[in-house]
A and B are shown apart, each in its own frame.
Chain A
């Protein structure tokens, strides 16, 4: 039922090599069991009834008609929640099932279990909910309920020779993982429950689940099932409590799988942002001050908004030396879809805005985009606007020079349709195609910040199996596609000199590993695995592995690993050492734009990233490509369109993500300037490329069109409608 991975590998590939994914064969043969593939005899299906309104009172819920349908086994509402009725990552503000009111479209209201998913769906549709619709707050500028406001204050000079201002907007992006939310809850004989689930963080799921179910923690056991991508969307609970409630009520296994449309309502999104920036500089382009107002729409519930706001504030001006700063980042509650974690976490939105500003400043000072950035670039020894010292290498100026010197692709295109913007939808011979080049720079915190107790646990066991030394690595860390299982095995091979390694399926039988987010698992779980391996090795007593295991028998050690502590930001000044590690990535984008049709083709992306130490070159390349692709999506196509609190495009036909045709070839250059504080000197790598690709592409489109384009995603009409010589800011009127 639950084979997720037989993760034994025998290849002798250690840290620094392109070790093969231990789950690769299962994944290419279709044997790998994703959460949606789970099956158990006697299991039944759960379905969720959701609110059609962004804001309403619930006068009554009549479950009678649903219960009358043949095959229906249970219908549950908030009254049936056995324990605490609320959950949440940061604040317990989200009801398991709506109580008396709904605050966003898609909020869960009731649950149905039936012997067939179709029956359950029909029954859910038969439930009668009497809503009293009320006014919804859908404009974040009108919102009065603040999740968090974080100022950053530094210096008091807010005058300069050159001043550029701009207002910028970022649309709501979706993680759009391909494998929808899914889980299987199995009631246990001890009155507890076992949940097989695709998630990013087993223990924080359990910590929210157990109180809602009214069970002690040890009676709620979670096992990681195959995860079809995550990107932040699995950090919050989706169907976890629901499946367990139904399973416990019926004393039968219950499976819940979301369809694509439900998935759009079933997880948080990236916060849309409205931003106002003012940059002041000397005539030769040195930054004097930055003022920024960043407004993030958190939607109906808190989720991880406070931490997102913290990142937007502390990283709000980018990796530049700025002596005087007034940044205000604010997250608000509205009746829009809840927003939370997505790859880049709070650093993405500001990055688009401050990089757009740097381009304007370059223009105002008569400098190239690279030159303006080099003149203001941070380096080791610089301070962030929070006053935090950058104590590890941060060779931004050199990275930009490297990027600039990479060869440019040939072009602009001939008349080959495949090379023109729009491909087959191109209706011209490319007469209006213009080429543009743009640059983008991003800085991202790695690991959890602001005083969070961020750690991971690893259990490592060495023993002889059939006379051969063998290692088992057991953690609760979620493999979501990033290749963490590969790395865990690499570390064990390198540290213990034993080729045969099994990475056990992640579950809550071992201590927490923290979340597979914030680009932190190589660092923290990697650190824990290494520490546990070192402890095992110590017990070898200097003997070779085989001899030691023959003499001492199996050896097992468990270790926790913590990164250097971080500290809260001062609530008034924003000062404080809030991050433990910072990572840089720079992008150059080359685009062809059909300025009449508004179609954009990204011809090439080039990236330079400093990863401290390469642990797996091939997997790293994959992370840079993947992050760049998601940044491309935000720049050119991805947006959940919300009107009056209602989502207009919850499908893959209307919410567009980059295809293989949209993804350009990439040149990458990897730098290895080790961070002495991190295991192996590594620097987290998954998120930074997501930041810098978006502003680079936007800048390239501006260069090609001459338009100001202050909003992403850039839509065809933003270009085509303004292509008759008039000056436009790229905003729809």
Chain B
């Protein structure tokens, strides 16, 4: 398995979740455990670019895959555009949901670019506010920073479109 570009090899029991393998075995604590049952999205990571809830994934299934966590998004000291936008638009308070929100948004923008439909829209239409909300609805934020999150994503989507 590659995690944020580095090869990692580890022996895990078949029942160990990807989230626990990352956090407890590899010390990659960016992905958070908010519920451990797929309800909050705090554990969202990218597996070969696809967003998944790491708490619902078994580590052994990801043998040989490329895992990207929040720690792997910045390039050196340069933040990923979404990371910078979350700061600019204050799309966070306590920040506990933020690693999951940002990973989810990264993959969501890629899904949209690839023309993937959301649960309600058949084809990728315009990525307006309603569509961003629809596509980000798997990530809870108890601090209620949602409107800042929408603004941050809209900002980055707009930059990409230009």
Contact = CB atoms under 8 A, between A and B. Distances in A.
Contacts of B148: 621-622, 625
A653 B40 CA distance: 9
Contacts of A482: 93
Interface string B25-56: 00101111111110110100000000000000
Contacts of A627: 144
Interface stretch (B57-65, B96-104, B109-117): B96-104
Contacts of A228: 32, 94-96
B6 interface: no
Given A20-B87, A660-B139, A626 B145 contact: yes
Interface in B92-147: 92-99, 102, 119-121, 129-131, 133-134, 136-137, 139-147
Nearest to A624: B144
B137 A618 contact: no
A572 interface: no
A481 B143 contact: yes
Contacts of B144: 622, 625-630, 658, 663
B37 to A, nearest CB: 7
A424 B102 CA distance: 24
A178 B40 CA distance: 8
A480 interface: yes
Given A653-B39, A657-B142, A660-B133, A622 B90 contact: yes
Contacts of A652: 34-35, 37, 39-40, 140
Nearest to B85: A28
A414 to B, nearest CB: 12
Interface string A189-223: 00000000000000000000000000000000000
A29 B96 CA distance: 11
A676 interface: no
A30 B30 contact: yes
A665 interface: yes
Given A28-B83, A260-B36, A659-B137, A424 B120 contact: yes
Given A418-B130, A625-B147, A652-B37, A229 B94 contact: yes
A176 interface: yes
Given A28-B98, A33-B29, A179-B94, A260 B143 contact: no
A697 to B, nearest CB: 14
A410 B142 CA distance: 28
Contacts of A706: none
Contacts of B8: none
B119 to A, nearest CB: 5
Contacts of A226: 95
A280 to B, nearest CB: 38
B156 interface: no
Interface in A627-666: 627-630, 651-653, 657-661, 663, 665-666
B29 to A, nearest CB: 4
A473 interface: no
Contacts of B12: none
**Range, interface on chain B:** 35 or more
A449 interface: no
Nearest to B134: A418
Contact of B34 (A260, A628, A629): A260
Interface residues of A, number: 62
Interface string A464-491: 0000000000000000111100000000
B79 interface: yes
Nearest to B88: A20
Contact of B142 (A30, A176, A665): A176
| Most chain A beta-carbon neighbours within 10 Å: one of B27, B98, B130, B146 | B146
A518 to B, nearest CB: 18
Contacts of B36: 259-260
Contacts of A416: 130
Contacts of A618: 90
B150 A622 contact: no
Contact of A178 (B29, B32, B69): B32
A260 B32 contact: no
Given A29-B83, A625-B145, A481 B95 contact: yes
Interface in A662-716: 663, 665-666
B83 A625 contact: no
A178 B148 CA distance: 18
B70 interface: yes
A417 B146 CA distance: 20
B87 A25 contact: yes
Nearest to B71: A30
A424 B119 CA distance: 7
A659 B39 contact: no
A660 B86 contact: no
B142 A28 contact: no
B149 interface: yes
A619 interface: yes
A131 interface: no
Contacts of B31: 30
A534 interface: no
Contacts of B149: 660
B96 A178 contact: yes
Contacts of A176: 142
A663 B37 contact: no
Contacts of B96: 34, 177-179, 228-229
A698 to B, nearest CB: 19
Which of B34, B121, B141, B144 has the largest number of chain A CB atoms within 10 A?
B144
B42 A178 contact: yes
Nearest to B95: A27
A30 B29 contact: yes
B93 to A, nearest CB: 4
Contacts of B102: 28
B93 A626 contact: yes
B134 to A, nearest CB: 6
A483 B93 contact: yes
A87 interface: no
B143 A30 contact: no
A28 B79 contact: yes
Residue among B69, B93, B98, B140 with the most chain A CB within 10 A?
B93
A30 B119 contact: no
29 contacts: A21-B90, A23-B95, A24-B95, A28-B79, A29-B70, A32-B95, A33-B29, A39-B29, A177-B94, A178-B42, A180-B34, A228-B94, A229-B94, A229-B96, A259-B36, A260-B37, A418-B134, A423-B120, A423-B134, A481-B143, A622-B90, A622-B144, A622-B148, A625-B145, A626-B93, A626-B143, A652-B34, A660-B136, A660-B141
Interface of B: 23, 27, 29-37, 39-40, 42, 69-71, 73-74, 79, 83-84, 86-87, 90, 92-99, 102, 119-121, 129-131, 133-134, 136-137, 139-150
Can you list the 9 inter-chain pairs with the closest CB atoms, starting with the nearest? A30-B30, A481-B94, A629-B144, A27-B95, A228-B96, A626-B144, A30-B70, A481-B93, A652-B39
Given A29-B79, A30-B71, A178-B141, 15 more contacts: A21-B90, A29-B71, A29-B73, A31-B30, A31-B71, A32-B95, A36-B32, A177-B142, A416-B130, A423-B134, A618-B90, A622-B90, A626-B145, A651-B35, A652-B34
